[in-house]
Amino acid sequence: MTDEPARVVRASREIEAPAERIFELIADPSQQPSWDGNDNLGEAQPGQRVHAVGDAFITTLKNGKVRENRVIEFEEGRRIAWQPAEPGQEAPGHLWRWELNPLSATRTEVTQTYDWSALDPDDVRRNTRARWTTADRLEASLELLAKATERPQP
């Protein structure tokens, strides 16, 4: 049993790649659809690489909806978190966070968190959608991210 609220979903995995290589894929929104285990992201235009808190990037979901993602946490090569919202609107209360912990020069523990604890509990549509994002889906993203960053072994 954990003290963590049910509205926070987390998954971790060790990846055989340097933190810098992994972080480049996470911080470049145009790369995110290729390793999205939620099968939710459609596309993001190149040139939106995140560099600081306050940056924002635009993604288009597979259903055609556009999201403006505002970066609220950032430490180059180590941590990034953003809150998605409809363009020009306030964020409704969920966030995506990535934390990278270098274990060696070539191995990194990567943790992905989806936190929807601040969503309005009366917003049935958003809460229903948020429940769809499970630890299994986060693990699928980590698996795809590992495949994209790990070098084949000789």
Distance of CA 128 to the CA centre of its chain: 19
The whole domain housing 125 covers: 8-149
Q: Model's pTM, two decimal places? A: 0.89
Let me know if residue 42 belongs to a domain: yes
Predicted confidence at residue 120, as pLDDT, reads 87
Let me know if residue 129 belongs to a domain: yes
Instruction: Tell which residue, 40, 37, 16, has the closest CA to residue 142.
Output: 37
Decide: helix, strand or coil at residue 86: coil
Q: What is the DSSP letter of 62?
A: T
Q: What are phi and psi of 23, to 5 degrees?
A: -60, -35
Let me know if residue 44 belongs to a domain: yes
Q: How many independent structural domains does the chain possess?
A: 1
Predicted confidence at residue 4, as pLDDT, reads 41
Let me know if residue 1 belongs to a domain: no
Let me know if residue 117 belongs to a domain: yes
CATH code of the domain in which 101 resides: 3.30.530.20
Let me know if residue 2 belongs to a domain: no
Decide: helix, strand or coil at residue 85: strand
Predicted confidence at residue 152, as pLDDT, reads 64
Give the integer Cα–Cα distance in Å for 54 and 124: 29
pLDDT along the chain (154 residues), means of 10: 66 96 96 86 93 96 93 98 95 94 97 92 84 88 94 60
Rg (CA), the chain: 15
